[in-house]
A and B are shown apart, each in its own frame.
Chain A
């Protein structure tokens, strides 16, 4: 394949807009605590509430990161193996609490390509996940763009 040929294959095009199986996940106190410690959380009131398992206390949006393994990224057919996160966006619509039962629905939203830049000719794959809680309230919408590239990163 020459560099001016499109990296977007018919299989990729067919995958755009596809949704994956919903995943159920619980916002787990122990994982949230581990994450808070890894981030050196210094909000003492929040730490105390989480340590006590207080399910009425709103917790930071970053608690959603504990569901990363269930926030499965849909496989993009034919995409180069080398990949780095290019952008991430959280749109938050409601509070999050310990013990919330979330349903996560993944979607492959869009694929674009770019020529040039630090990684050369590359694909920008836009993933999206919608989080809905046990009361059927949409809590958050997470969008992530991942760059897939063939050549080594420039290191800069």
Chain B
């Protein structure tokens, strides 16, 4: 169910969502976006050349997941800002916990707006992505 502006206030938490991007999904994503970076697809390159624990989930794939997450909760209201800091790599086939919280509601240029903190945590409970977003609700 989508949130309405009137139901939001600072501290309102969005439901937690779990996503587990599989290797097959990462391959499909890389094919659709033309992003064939070996750190996403080649275990030997990821481990030996980059020092990563294994092939990783592309940062912009996680951006896609967060875009979906926000649309699920805010319907078709425009996401005017989506900003992510990639703090740790996420590997394939590992569960991601996605969450968010309202940090501010306000009116700007006659439009009702909400700012959020959003994040992705890895299975160890470490924050792999810390981000922020702004939703513009319909004009008043």
B99 at the interface (CB under 8 A from A): no
Q: Which of B58-95 contact A (CB under 8 A)?
A: 58-61, 63-65, 67-68, 71-72, 76, 78-86, 88-89
Interface stretch (choices A12-20, A78-86, A106-114): A78-86
Q: What is the bound-complex CA distance between A58 and B84, given in angstroms? A: 23
Q: Which of A56-96 contact B (CB under 8 A)?
A: 58, 60-62, 65-66, 68-69, 82, 84-93, 95
Contact yes or no, A84 B51, CB < 8 A: no
Q: What is the bound-complex CA distance between A91 and B136, given in angstroms? A: 12
Q: What is the bound-complex CA distance between A38 and B68, given in angstroms? A: 12
The chain A residue with its CB closest to the CB of B82 is A90
Task: With A35-B33, A38-B29, A62-B67 given, name 18 new contacts (CB 8 A).
Answer: A31-B32, A34-B28, A35-B29, A38-B32, A39-B64, A40-B25, A43-B71, A43-B72, A61-B82, A68-B33, A84-B86, A88-B60, A88-B63, A89-B83, A90-B79, A91-B81, A92-B79, A153-B89
A contact set with B: CB distance below 8 Å: 31, 34-35, 37-41, 43, 58, 60-62, 65-66, 68-69, 82, 84-93, 95, 152-156
